[in-house]
């Protein structure tokens, strides 16, 4: 582990944390590969005092200074993938392909944030009075970011980079299970790119640090990515403070396989959607809705895909799936599998594990009321649910409390497109599975999958990390009858 990070948090530089040390572990082997620092609430208070002061100068600086920092960070990350990729493999349990993909997303996010900094940030408005009238986005001040363990680097950077680009300071609390890849490695990258001191603070820690960020009056904007349960608690705590809160939460995403779909390609898409990164993605394909006439064939093809996928240590070679994040998550996943089988489903593939390595699993004969169909599993499990007509399929999609992503597979993309407007989700992918992201798109869900602003692209970033301010200007002071 980089000695600069050992037992450290980041507050303009790497300094010792006031809280207990965090063991950084290789999830595949359980080996301790280093120690990071953790923060206390006093560290949060100190960070906010420094960030509030630094933010004023950063917001007042010419925009090209912010652009230069972000572009340097993107260039460093691209030229030196070893800054991040090995940590994603070891600390987050990412298979090589997933780690490389996430690294590429971080580079793209930094570049898109640089473009956001130079993008138009307002518009002229018509007025019936003889004046100039316009609306512009101004920085919110200090943005609090709470990020998860599954895609730790990009799910931190997609808030950190645009917030900085628009003139804000950031206090980031990464999940302590991925303190390096979700925080400290990113801090070093931005530090080396020349980010001025005081604008970024990385404070790993437990729930009490997140709660302090939510409750702190000096944080007007909060960006949280995580579970729906935690999101509800954050929304309730932040509401009396009138914070600007952005919640990117869970999903129980459906892959709708229409009767005319190419089943070989459909099974390939379904396997990728359910098993990528061990299913630990908010967009994971959690339900495979297949017409009754094709369900048996589709299930057999999907099970064959699952049985053929290699599972193992991401650092030891090319594997498709690595370990789950910890034993608690493994036991939760296995609980969904066993309870669904007990309720009458059939095991078509997988259903077993070795330490944290869970085999990709296919469950057949799953009913909508089975545990694996009702809840977000966050593991490599593919429940196959049969439907008899399109109306029933749409109802199954929309009956779910979540509303993040849906994939619709069909030989006729226009039929799928017509169907898409009826699906109560934030994102629809026609002839693709449910997992996708790009730095330029407005990423977000509805219902229990999220609320607040979207991530990605200049327009969404301005709305998410800025305040819209109306300004009028006249050549002389207006005259009134009083």
CATH of the domain at 24: 3.40.605.10
Is residue 416 domain-shared with residue 466, that is, in the same domain?
no
pLDDT in tens, 74-132: 999 999 999 999 999 999 999 999 999 999 999 999 999 999 999 999 999 999 999 99
pLDDT number for residue 1:
60
User: What is the domain range of residue 199?
Assistant: 8-249+449-471
Is residue 222 domain-shared with residue 304, that is, in the same domain?
no
Q: What parts of the chain have a pLDDT lower than 50?
A: none
CA angle, residues 13, 99, 253, in degrees to nearest 5: 110
Is residue 241 domain-shared with residue 263, that is, in the same domain?
no
Is residue 75 domain-shared with residue 130, that is, in the same domain?
yes
pLDDT number for residue 56:
97
Report the C-alpha dihedral over residues 145, 151, 154, 157, rounded to 10 degrees: 20
pLDDT number for residue 441:
93
Is residue 309 domain-shared with residue 293, that is, in the same domain?
yes
Is residue 226 domain-shared with residue 257, that is, in the same domain?
no
Is residue 352 included in any domain, yes or no?
A: yes
Is residue 113 domain-shared with residue 207, that is, in the same domain?
yes
Tokens of 204: 């790993």
Question: What is the C-alpha separation between 102 and 64, in angstroms, rounded?
Answer: 27
- Residues marked as catalytic: 248, 282
> For residue 60, what are the contacts with CB-CB under 8 A and spacing of at least 6?
none
Is residue 230 included in any domain, yes or no?
A: yes
> Residue 308's domain is classified under what CATH number?
3.40.309.10
Question: What is the C-alpha separation between 162 and 429, in angstroms, rounded?
Answer: 25
pLDDT number for residue 295:
98
> For residue 418, what are the contacts with CB-CB under 8 A and spacing of at least 6?
none
Q: How many domains are there within the chain?
A: 2
Judge contact between 204 and 185, C-beta under 8 A. Answer: no
Question: What is the C-alpha separation between 435 and 405, in angstroms, rounded?
Answer: 8
Is residue 482 included in any domain, yes or no?
A: no
Is residue 230 domain-shared with residue 369, that is, in the same domain?
no
pLDDT number for residue 75:
98
Is residue 442 included in any domain, yes or no?
A: no
pLDDT number for residue 453:
86
Is residue 120 domain-shared with residue 198, that is, in the same domain?
yes
Judge contact between 164 and 71, C-beta under 8 A. Answer: no
Question: What is the C-alpha separation between 74 and 71, in angstroms, rounded?
Answer: 5
Is residue 64 included in any domain, yes or no?
A: yes
The DSSP call for residue 68 is: H
Judge contact between 421 and 464, C-beta under 8 A. Answer: no
**DSSP per-residue codes, 247-272:** EE----EEEEE-TTS-HHHHHHHHHH
Is residue 363 included in any domain, yes or no?
A: yes
Is the whole model's pTM more than 0.85, yes or no? Answer: yes
> For residue 78, what are the contacts with CB-CB under 8 A and spacing of at least 6?
107
pLDDT number for residue 318:
85
Is residue 52 included in any domain, yes or no?
A: yes
Is residue 463 domain-shared with residue 364, that is, in the same domain?
no
Is residue 111 included in any domain, yes or no?
A: yes
Question: What is the C-alpha separation between 147 and 246, in angstroms, rounded?
Answer: 12
pLDDT number for residue 294:
98
| Nearest alpha carbon to residue 444 among 384, 433, 457 | 457
Judge contact between 199 and 54, C-beta under 8 A. Answer: yes
Is residue 195 domain-shared with residue 287, that is, in the same domain?
no
Is residue 245 domain-shared with residue 334, that is, in the same domain?
no
């Amino acid at each position: 582990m980089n000695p600069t990070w050992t037992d450290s948090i980041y507050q303009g530089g790497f300094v010792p944390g006031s809280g207990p040390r965090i063991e950084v572990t290789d999830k595949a082997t359980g080996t301790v590969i280093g120690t990071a620092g953790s923060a206390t609430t006093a560290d949060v208070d100190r960070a906010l005092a420094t960030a509030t002061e630094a933010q004023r100068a950063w917001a007042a600086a010419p925009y090209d200074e912010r652009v230069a920092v972000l572009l340097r960070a993107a260039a460093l990350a691209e030229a030196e993938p070893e800054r991040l990729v090995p940590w994603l493999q070891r600390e987050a349990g990412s298979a090589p392909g997933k780690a490389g993909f996430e690294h590429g997303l971080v580079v793209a996010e930094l570049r898109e944030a640089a473009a956001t900094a130079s993008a138009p940030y307002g518009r002229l408005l018509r007025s019936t009075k003889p004046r100039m009238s316009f609306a512009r986005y101004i920085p919110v001040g200090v943005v609090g970011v709470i990020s998860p363990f599954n895609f730790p680097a990009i799910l931190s950077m997609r808030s950190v980079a645009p917030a900085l680009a628009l003139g804000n300071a950031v206090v980031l609390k990464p999940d302590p299970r991925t303190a390096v890849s979700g925080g400290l490695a990113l801090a070093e990258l931005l530090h080396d790119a020349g980010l001025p001191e005081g604008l970024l603070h990385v404070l790993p820690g437990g729930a009490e640090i997140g709660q302090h960020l939510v409750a702190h009056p000096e944080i007007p904007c909060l960006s949280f990515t995580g579970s729906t349960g935690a999101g509800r608690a954050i929304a309730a705590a932040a509401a009396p403070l009138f914070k600007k809160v952005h919640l990117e939460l869970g999903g129980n995403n459906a892959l709708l396989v229409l009767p005319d779909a190419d089943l070989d390609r459909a099974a390939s898409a379904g396997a990728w959607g359910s098993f990528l990164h061990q299913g630990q993605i908010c967009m994971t394909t959690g339900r495979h809705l297949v017409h009754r006439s094709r369900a048996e064939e589709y299930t057999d093809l999907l099970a064959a895909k699952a049985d053929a996928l290699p599972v193992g240590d991401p650092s030891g070679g090319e594997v498709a799936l690595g370990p789950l994040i910890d034993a608690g998550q493994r036991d939760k996943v296995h609980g969904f599998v066993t309870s669904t089988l007990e309720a009458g489903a059939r095991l078509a593939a997988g259903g077993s594990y070795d330490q944290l390595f869970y085999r990709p699993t296919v469950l057949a004969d799953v009913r909508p009321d089975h545990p694996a169909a009702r809840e977000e599993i966050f593991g490599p499990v593919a429940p196959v649910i049969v439907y008899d007509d399109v109306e029933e399929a749409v109802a199954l999609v929309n009956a779910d409390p979540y509303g993040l992503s849906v994939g619709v597979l069909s030989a006729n993309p226009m039929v799928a497109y017509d169907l898409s407007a009826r699906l109560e989700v934030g994102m629809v992918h026609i002839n693709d599975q449910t997992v996708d992201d790009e730095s330029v798109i407005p990423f977000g869900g509805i219902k229990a999958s999220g609320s607040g602003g979207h991530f990605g692209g200049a327009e969404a970033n301005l709305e998410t990390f800025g305040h819209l301010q109306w300004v009028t200007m006249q050549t002389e002071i207006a005259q009134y009858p009083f």
